[in-house]
Structure 1
Amino acid sequence: MAILRDAGFEPEAPDDPLAWLHDQQPAALIFTLLSDTDWNLLESLTSSAADTLLVVLAERVTVETSVRAFRLGAACILPRSTSPAALSEAFSAALNGRSTVSLDVLRALIFTAPSEPSDDYPSTQEREWLRSLSRGVTVGRLAVEAGYSERMMFRLLRNLYTRIGAAGRADALVTAQAKGWLGP
């Protein structure tokens, strides 16, 4: 916040970014990615406010995380440890319609087709279920967290596995990892 204030901006820190964006269109947002939940929120933000200018800060900036962030609508991606001057410069550049992209990221964006969601593409909630299962969460616990009975959770997962072409849980997790559905 201090970095942006020093650069002449009037930053806010909303408790509910989705509601804030709804009231602030168009808006500029510096968004920090720390977890899978943050990726889900970023996806929600970009789908509900496509004209929002997003500057993303990530714990680890890799080609994969950069490509994913750009495909979700980020104007630039920087490491969380970036200097105040670099953050201010990147934010100002983005406001002026410019972004700095490494050659590796640029090549990945150009030469790899974006994975278009299809009928077998899991929803955000289904991808979260797969991530939970990959971390060893039981179906019973997943059912409680999702608000379903255990029996219904088994049915929902079985339908998901069938839809993505997996024979069972292990196959679904291998497929999810290969397709990048488990996160960066």
Structure 2
Amino acid sequence: MISDHHDPHLFPVAIIDPLPAYAVGLVSAFAEAGFSAECPTDPPRWTERHDRSAVVITMDPPCDEELLQRLVKSDPELWITVLVTHPRLSGLRHFWGMGVHSVVDRMTRPQVIVRTVELTMASHAVVPMAIFESIAEKLLKASDIDLSEQHVAWLEALGRGARISDIAQASGYSIREMHRLLGQLYRTLGVSGRFEAIALAARSGII
């Protein structure tokens, strides 16, 4: 996070997009807002040359996830905004797991992308409204679910990284039956698997 007495426009911004004309347009938008922005030929090396910087990178398929991983590794404090055409919640979870802070629809106005980077520098995570509504809906549903103490205990065990076999043994079920019961719990929570269940339970205060 940048402190209150630091101007976010002092930090350089790298634009990474497969279409040169689009990238140059974004550079112009950031320049008009007072940023120093460019399209580096070697983004990881570019980030290593700066104490703090931000990156705006397009991750439409086929995207270069290896480059994104290299960027995160080159500077763990790098502010990362991903551009995706028609972003989805499933993709957002994936990008968050890779160290991305904000996700914006690539089709949005350049000025919105600039503002997103400014907010990201101020420790705000920016996502499209449709995705926010989807997350909020899941959280509200989770808060209304009446889970048993055993269900909560299972979620807590999953959150600690326990193996399904260990949970089954502690609960007195076979491994096969435990998988079936956890599948029912996931469906009740409206999630597709273990990691989504843990994240949802943590965010909604269940665990």
Task: Report the TM-score when normalising by structure 2.
Answer: 0.48
Equivalent residue for 1:104?
134
Q: Secondary structure of the equivalent of 1:55?
A: strand
Q: Secondary structure of the equivalent of 2:101?
A: strand
Deviations 1:87-134 (A, max 9, x none): 12211111212123414347889x9989x9xxxxxxxxxxxxxxxxxx
Matched, 1:86 2:112: yes
Confirm or deny: 8 A CA contact 1:46 1:52 kept in the other structure.
yes
Larger radius of gyration: 2
Equivalent residue for 1:29?
55
Confirm or deny: 8 A CA contact 2:104 2:126 kept in the other structure.
no
Equivalent residue for 1:95?
121
Match of 1:7 among 33, 37, 40: 33
Confirm or deny: 8 A CA contact 1:66 1:77 kept in the other structure.
yes
Equivalent residue for 1:69?
95
Equivalent residue for 1:50?
76
Confirm or deny: 8 A CA contact 1:67 1:105 kept in the other structure.
no
Report the count of equivalent residues.
115
Distance change in 2, residues 1:7/1:85 (3 Å): same
Confirm or deny: 8 A CA contact 1:57 1:78 kept in the other structure.
yes
- Among all aligned residue pairs of Structure 1 and Structure 2, give the percentage whose two residues are the same amino acid: 20
Distance change in 2, residues 1:34/1:57 (3 Å): same
Q: Secondary structure of the equivalent of 1:64?
A: helix
Q: Secondary structure of the equivalent of 2:37?
A: coil
Q: Secondary structure of the equivalent of 1:82?
A: coil
Give distance in 1, aligned partners of 2:123 and 2:45: 25
Give distance in 1, aligned partners of 2:78 and 2:136: 21
Distance change in 2, residues 1:50/1:27 (3 Å): same
Q: Which moved more, 1:49-58 or 1:99-108?
A: 99-108
Confirm or deny: 8 A CA contact 1:63 1:108 kept in the other structure.
no
Amino acid at match of 2:54: A
Q: CA offset at residue 33 of structure 1?
A: 0.9
Deviations 1:130-162 (A, max 9, x none): xxxxxxxxxxxxxxxxxxxxxxxxxxxxxxxxx
Equivalent residue for 2:192?
none
Confirm or deny: 8 A CA contact 1:56 1:77 kept in the other structure.
yes
Give distance in 2, aligned partners of 1:8 and 1:36: 32
Any unmatched runs of 5+ in structure 2?
Answer: 1-26, 143-154, 162-207
Give distance in 1, aligned partners of 2:54 and 2:83: 14
Distance change in 2, residues 1:20/1:103 (3 Å): same
